[in-house]
Structure 1
Amino acid sequence: MARPPLFQRATVTRVVPETPDARTFVLEPHDGPLRYRAGQFCTFRVTVNGDELFRSYSMSSAPETDGELMTTVKRVPGGAVSNWLLDNLGAGDEVEITRPIGRFCLRDTDLPLLGYSGGSGITPILSLTKAALAATGRRVRLLCADRDADSAIFAAAFDDLLRRYPDRLEVRRHLDSVGGLITTAAVRAFVGDDAAGDHYLCGPEAFMALVESALPGPGQVFSERFGDVPPLPEEPSAPASTPATSGGTVTVILKGRKKSVPRRDGETVLESARRAGLSPPFSCEQGNCATCMALVTSGRATLRRNEALTEEELEDGYILTCQAVPDTPDITVDYE
């Protein structure tokens, strides 16, 4: 069976203003509707000032409630892709996106769902909330932190959900402009008697670290982290030492080019591809975003970390090349 391409084109059918610095893009994939789960994300590939860049954005839609695919983007200081999308993308324009990916999804349980969002981290939390309310009987409680009232994304959407599910949905808004940054005590007061529920976190790293440290347990904790984009590594002119080789070859196929290099101990497939002179796609390099996703066509590899690929994708042979270290002497990986 032919595997679908990782990237595909989609048309922006309309743009919905959410706040002064956030917009929702409604997308129509050219190859037909995409199958996805609430809480997943797509990675966008855009060219900005001649550079090919990749960034991941969560779905604000949910398949249980929405007939259209929607993702929401917020302007951030220095956000090369986010700011470019907001400044340049309008109805009728086309973008390149991956199929939806990610494991920040609902599990099959009747436990209450507690969501914690900071800023635009509310995007996948909205998706999960809509799915849980529409398709399960679970209670949903949300703690949403924003800079100020004008920054609160999806206020109207949550007002509508509160009207429809008054007995199952609670939304608690925390404004930094009024109460300062959220505290451990505030998180624990919000949790109350629902510590055993499922806890979903998305937002700035400092916000998520505080919430994680505040949660008393024993409930399961799920977090969505795309990570900061690291700079491309500089090629050393005269390395002090060369990593040991153990025999074998790493072969990488990318954009019609096939390059092979000797395998080095502990080196990831992404690092091998760079050493081969290729420029493979990547973004977070932390196993979170799946931008570097590729297919192993021969050999095997172990992932140091995986917060993006599903069990089905792993079984099909997909890897995150930024986290994949070959297990076999020879391995071939295809980005196409």
Structure 2
Amino acid sequence: MCSEESDKAAVYVRDLKKRINIDEPRYDQETYVGRAKHFFLTTNPLNLLVSSRRLEEARCLVTKYRCNEPIPDDTTVNELWRAKMLYDSAFHPDTGEKMVLIGRMSAQVPMNVMITGGMITFYKSTPAVVFWQWLNQSFNALVNYTNRSGDVQQTNKQLFTSYVCATGGAVGTALYLNSLVKTMPPVIGRLVPFAAVAAANCINIPMMRAQELRHGTPVFDDHNNKLGYSKVAAQSGIGQVILSRVFMALPGMVAAPVVMDYLEKRGTLCRYPWMTVPATLGILGFCLTFATPLACAFFKQKASIPYNHLEPQLREQIQKQYDEPPTVVYFNKGL
């Protein structure tokens, strides 16, 4: 009965008088709420369970609709948007390449719950600090590279150099901060991982996207025509990503230490030591489930920059292509 009613209520793509613009997200990206709805869908950890066959079907449907090729007559509007959401969650928006599974934004919550839980729980010994910070920055390096903006390629040597500098900086920051807080209250020591992560993001993200800073990221006009590569746009996009990542980590990495310190002072953890890991992971899981999409929504994925803020050389190049250059150009800021 329910399925019959849903079938009757279904709106088929073939019946629409106006084409759906699937090059843009379903929800209004000019508003924070619209961006948050979009990222709640694309960062949903359940997307990781979708089979490769289903992802390929989604890619084919999206590609055919974009190219105005025939699609199945029984395709509904919701099915088309579902395919687009799966496509966005698994394929790079600029290159169209399928992203590594744990490098996708939908892997952020489960991976960060595990890694952040380790950093907060095992923060006292130097070997543990080194291991968990190394693991965290290795994961972040993979995510930063996977979700980089543009189509600029890096050599293996450049990637390795960026990785060593980023992870080395993160581990060094954590060890230095730990040495400073040894005589301070325990809760301060528990907050060191967040400070280290925040500082490391300022190193890791620019290093793993160094090619964009050197050569620029692609910029486009209103009709998605590539205009060239802009270093200014790359700097703006990377700065926005750093802020988003810091705020993404903030709720869980601050709330969990404060709560665990409170439980420790009350003696709860002494009476029930088995609670330490489940409680930490539970708090982190709750915070990250909401903080990940809400932090991603701070800035638009399709970022914009005024034309007159671009480099003089790029403006000259664009002026040769247009009688009236666009007032604003667009670029993918990355995630």
Q: What's the TM-score bracket when you normalise by the shorter of the two chains?
A: under 0.3
Q: Which has the larger radius of gyration?
A: 2
TM normalised by structure 2 equals 0.23
Question: More strand by proportion, 1 or 2?
Answer: 1
